[in-house]
Structure 1
Amino acid sequence: MLRSSLNTLARPAFTSLRAASTLTAGFPKVAERLPTKYGGVYTVTLIPGDGIGQEITESVKEIFESVNAPIEWDQYDVSGMSSSGEALFKQAMESLKRNKVGLKGILFTPISKSGHISWNVAMRQQLDIYASVVLCKSLPGVPTRHSDVDFALIRENTEGEYSGLEHQSYPGVVESLKVSTRAKADRISRFAFDFALRNGRKKVTCVHKANIMKLGDGLFLNTFRRVAEDYSASGIEYNDMIVDNTSMQLVAKPTQFDVMVMPNLYGAIVSNIGAALVGGPGVVPGCNVGRDYALFEPGCRHVAKDIMGQDRANPAAMILSATMMLRHLGLDHIANKIASATFQVLNAGTVKTADMGGKSLVSSGESFIPLSRRTGSSTTSEFTAAVIKNLE
C-alpha cells in the first residue's frame, strides 16, 4: 500500500495518471510507517472539528458505512473554542501517532492574544506533515465566472510566518519572526515536482515575495530554482511569480496555473482565492502529508460557525478529502466509487446546498419549506442521501 519515497519515484510511469483532479489526488506517498490495521480494517483518527465539522464528518461516516469501507474511527471531539480542551487535544495527537492517518474538520483558533495557539498548526508542526495539497478544479454543476480551472496548490506547512515566534520588545512594538530554511524549501519543492510527475501535469510555479524579503523568500525561490534543475530532463516547465501578482493573475486568468508551490502564509491566502474560483470552500478537498503521518481535511480551512447545527453545510469537500484518504490507504476502488457518486451529485446540479446556489431556507422567510417546493435548496442530509443513492 505504501509506495516509494519522493526521491525514488519512477517519473516516466506517472504521465498516464493525468486524471489527477478532485477525483484522483495522486500526491506522492511519502509515509514510511504503516497505518494501523487489524483484520483488514484500518483504524483512522477522526477529529470532527468546530463549526460544521460534526455535520460534514457525519456525512462521511454514513457514506463509508453504506459501502462497508474497512475503516474504524477513533474519534476525538476536540474543540478549539476554549483552552479547556487541551487534554483531549493531546489524546487526539497520541491517536494520530498510533494510527498514522487521520481525517479532521477545522479547529477554531481564537484571535485574542490571551487565547491558545492554533491547534491546527500545532498538529502540522508536531507531526511534521509538511506538505499541504489543495485541489481546485471547475465542476460542470457548479457554475462560476471561470471555467476549466484545474490547479493544485502545494503549501509548506511547518515554518514561515506560522512559526509563531512573536514577542513585544517594547510596549507597542511587536517583533514577529519568519523562519525559512533551505532544507524545508528543498523538501517542499521536490514534493511539488514529484506531484506534477505523478499526475502528468506540465508546469510548476513558485509563489514568493523575494523582491522585498530578499533573504527569507529569496532562499525559498533560489532553492526552488536549484531543485527545478534536477527535474530538467522530465520536461516539466517551471516559473516563479510574486505573490501579489499571483493574486491578480488568479482572478484574471486562472487557467495559466497548473501546480503552485509556496510558503505557508501565501498558501493560506491563495487557497481561499482558488476556492472562490471554483465554487467556494465546500467543494475543495485537501490533505497534509509527511514522512510518517497523513491528515486529511477540507482544502479551504473554514469553521463556518454561522451555519453550524443548521444542516445547511456542503459536505462535498470533506467527502472528497476522505476519498483521498482511502487512496492513501490503497483502497482506490472504494475511493473511486464514492468520488464518482459525489461528482454525479455536484454535476447534476439538482441537489444543491445554499453555497452552490440553492435557495436559502432562512432568507425565504418561512420556517419550513416542503421538499417539493424547494428550488434547489438542499440540506447536508439530503446531499449525503443523494451521494449514497448514486452508490447503489
Structure 2
Amino acid sequence: MYNITLIPGDGIGPSISESTKRIIAATGVEVAWEVHEAGIPAIEKYKDPLPPQVIESITRNKVALKGPLTTPVGGGFRSINVALRKEFDLYINLRPAKSFIGVKAAFRDIDLIIFRENIEEFYSGIEHYIDAQKSAAETIGVVTRFACERITRAAFEYARKHGRKKVTLVHKANIMKFTGGLFLDVGRAVAKEFPDIQCNDKIIDNMSMQLVVNPHQFDVIVTTNLFGDILSDLCSGLVGGLGLAPGANIGYDVALFEAVHGSAPDIAGKDLANPCAMALAGAMMLDYLEEIGASKKIQRAIADVIRNGKSVTRDLNPDNYVGTVAMTDAIVRRVEEL
C-alpha cells in the first residue's frame, strides 16, 4: 500500500484525476490517496493558493500526483508548480514525447525525452520593476555550476540505464556566453564520464528548427529551464499535442507527477477531457515506485485504446468520439485484460 498525495487541480483536473485513480486501481497496485486542494480552489476555501497541509502531505508521503492548476497571467498568485519545485528542490523536469499509432501527428515513431533544469535561471522569481512608473522591468537568470552538473548528470545516467544512445545539450552559448557557456562547459565535462553515450550540442534556435524538420535524430535532450519549457511543449506537438503529454518533477527525496496541459475551464464538467496525459503521469509515477509491470500495463492499455480509435475523446477523433468516462472505462478494461 502506497500513501500518495493527490492534488486534483481545477477545471478538468478533478475528472481526469478520478480517471487516473481508476486506471491505477485496475493494475492491482493499492494506493491510499491523500487528497488536497491547491491553486484557485484552495484560495476559495483557505485564502491560500498553497496551504501548509499540502506541503505537509507531500513531505510525509514523498510522492504526489497533480492535476492541472490555473495560474493567472500577469497578476495574481505565482505558479503553484514553481512553488512546489522550489519547496522540494525538484530539479529534474522529465518530459517524454512518444508517438501513438492512431493519433494524427506530423511524425511517427518519435521517442524523445527532455531533461529540463527545473529550479534556476529565469524562473527563479528574481524580477522587479526598475522605476516607480513601472515603465521597465528586469528578470535575472542565475545559472550555477552545481545545477548544471546535476541535471546533465541525471540525463546521462538515465540514458545509460535505459539503453539510450545519445544526449544533446541545448544552449545559447554563442550569445549568452556566461550562463549558456557555463551550462555547455559543464555538460561537456560530464559527458566525458560517459564514453558509451554519444554527446552533441545544439544552439536553441537551430534545435527548434531541427526538431520540426527531423526529430528522429534526437534521443535524450537536456537543457536549461526556459529552453526546456519551450522545447518540451514543442516535442509534445510532434506527437499529437499536450493531451498525451505527462511530466515528472523529481528531486532527491520527493517526486511529483502531473499532466502538463492546462486546466481547460471551458470544457470542465462536460465529460470531454482526454484522461491520457494524467494517466500516463500515473504510469510514470508507478515506474518511479518500481511498479514496472503496472506502469507498462497502463502505457500499453492507453496505446491499444488509441490505436483502436473507437473509445477516444474528441481531441483524438473529432468525428466519432466518446467522453472522458467512457474512454477511462475502455482503458480500465484493457488494463484488466493484460
Q: Deviations over 1:173-228 (max 9, x none)?
A: 21211010000000000000011111111110111111111111111111111111
2:42–2:49 CA contact under 8 A, matched in 1: no
Which one-letter code corresponds to 1:377 in the other structure? Y
Which one-letter code corresponds to 1:100 in the other structure? K
Task: Report the counterpart of residue 325 of structure 2 in structure 1.
Answer: 381
1:81–1:108 CA contact under 8 A, matched in 2: no
Structure 1 residue runs of 5 or longer lacking an equivalent are 1-40, 360-375
Task: Report the alpha carbon displacement of residue 87 of structure 1 after superposing the two structures with TM.
Answer: 6.5
CA distance in 1, matches of 2:159, 2:26: 34
Identity of aligned residues (%): 44
Which one-letter code corresponds to 1:259 in the other structure? V
| Residue 154 (str. 1) matches residue 110 (str. 2) | no
Which one-letter code corresponds to 1:340 in the other structure? R
Task: Report the counterpart of residue 173 of structure 2 in structure 1.
Answer: 210
1:81–1:110 CA contact under 8 A, matched in 2: no
1:131–1:154 CA contact under 8 A, matched in 2: yes
CA distance in 1, matches of 2:92, 2:122: 16
2:49–2:80 CA contact under 8 A, matched in 1: no
Which one-letter code corresponds to 1:192 in the other structure? A
CA distance in 2, matches of 1:249, 1:141: 24
Task: Report the counterpart of residue 251 of structure 1 in structure 2.
Answer: 212
CA distance in 1, matches of 2:34, 2:141: 35
2:24–2:282 CA contact under 8 A, matched in 1: no
Task: Report the counterpart of residue 69 of structure 2 in structure 1.
Answer: 107
Cα pair distance change 1:87/1:135, threshold 3 Å = closer
Which one-letter code corresponds to 2:208 in the other structure? S
CA distance in 2, matches of 1:320, 1:277: 17
Task: Report the counterpart of residue 275 of structure 1 in structure 2.
Answer: 236
Q: Deviations over 1:17-40 (max 9, x none)?
A: xxxxxxxxxxxxxxxxxxxxxxxx
Which one-letter code corresponds to 1:389 in the other structure? R
Task: Report the alpha carbon displacement of residue 357 of structure 1 after superposing the two structures with TM.
Answer: 2.8
Which one-letter code corresponds to 1:185 in the other structure? C
Of 46, 53, 65, the residue aligned with 1:91 is 53
CA distance in 2, matches of 1:136, 1:142: 13
1:48–1:104 CA contact under 8 A, matched in 2: yes
Q: Deviations over 1:15-67 (max 9, x none)?
A: xxxxxxxxxxxxxxxxxxxxxxxxxx110000011221111111011223334
| Residue 341 (str. 1) matches residue 301 (str. 2) | yes
Task: Report the alpha carbon displacement of residue 287 of structure 1 after superposing the two structures with TM.
Answer: 0.8
Structure 2 residue runs of 5 or longer lacking an equivalent are none
| Residue 220 (str. 1) matches residue 180 (str. 2) | no
Cα pair distance change 1:80/1:215, threshold 3 Å = farther
Task: Report the counterpart of residue 14 of structure 2 in structure 1.
Answer: 54
Which one-letter code corresponds to 2:55 in the other structure? M
Tell me the matched-pair count.
332
Which one-letter code corresponds to 2:159 in the other structure? A
| Residue 184 (str. 1) matches residue 152 (str. 2) | no
Aligned partner of residue 311 in structure 2, secondary structure: coil
Alignment of 1:128-147 (within 5 A): 128-147=89-108
Aligned partner of residue 315 in structure 2, secondary structure: helix
| Residue 231 (str. 1) matches residue 194 (str. 2) | yes
Give the aligned CA root-mean-square deviation in angstroms.
1.6
CA distance in 1, matches of 2:51, 2:42: 11
Task: Report the alpha carbon displacement of residue 157 of structure 1 after superposing the two structures with TM.
Answer: 0.5
Which one-letter code corresponds to 2:96 in the other structure? L
Which one-letter code corresponds to 1:215 in the other structure? F
Q: Deviations over 1:154-179 (max 9, x none)?
A: 10101111001111121312121101
Task: Report the counterpart of residue 304 of structure 1 in structure 2.
Answer: 264
1:80–1:119 CA contact under 8 A, matched in 2: no
Aligned partner of residue 251 in structure 1, secondary structure: helix
* Larger CA deviation: 350-359 vs 188-197: 350-359
Aligned partner of residue 354 in structure 1, secondary structure: coil
Q: Deviations over 1:263-304 (max 9, x none)?
A: 111111111111111011111222111101011112x34222
* Larger CA deviation: 83-92 vs 133-142: 83-92
